[in-house]
Amino acid sequence: MYLITVFGNLLIILAVSSDSHLHTPMYFFLSNLSLVDICFISTTIPKMLVNLQTQSKVITYEGCITQMYFYVLFVGLDNFILTTMAYDRFVAICHPLHYTVIMNPRLCGLLVLVSWIMFASLFYCTSLGVYLSSAATHSSHPSATTSVMYTVVTPMLNPFIYSLRNKDIKGALKGFFVKETTKGAIVLGLKKCP
Q: What is the secondary structure of the chain as a DSSP string?
A: -HHHHHHHHHHHHHHHHH-GGG-SHHHHHHHHHHHHHHHHHHHHHHHHHHHHHHT-----HHHHHHHHHHHHHHHHHHHHHHHHHHHHHHHHHH-GGGHHHHT-HHHHHHHHHHHHH-----SHHHHHHHHHHHHH-S--HHHHHHHHIIIIIHHHHHHIIIIIT-HHHHHHHHHHHHHHHHHHHHHHHHHH--
State the pLDDT confidence band at 108, using cuts at 50, 70 and 90: confident
pLDDT, position 171: 79
pLDDT, position 35: 92
pLDDT, position 120: 43
Claim: this prediction has a pTM higher than 0.85: no
The domain that contains 139 carries what CATH number?
1.20.1070.10
Give the span between the Cα atoms of 140 and 124, in whole angstroms: 19
Distance in Å from the first CA to the final CA of the chain: 46
- 173 or 83, which is more confident: 83
- Segments forming the whole domain that contains residue 114: 2-192
State the pLDDT confidence band at 38, using cuts at 50, 70 and 90: very high
State the pLDDT confidence band at 187, using cuts at 50, 70 and 90: low
- Amino acid in the structure at residue 154: T
User: Per the structure, how many domains does the chain have?
Assistant: 1
Most confident of 84-93, 110-119, 125-134, 164-173: 84-93
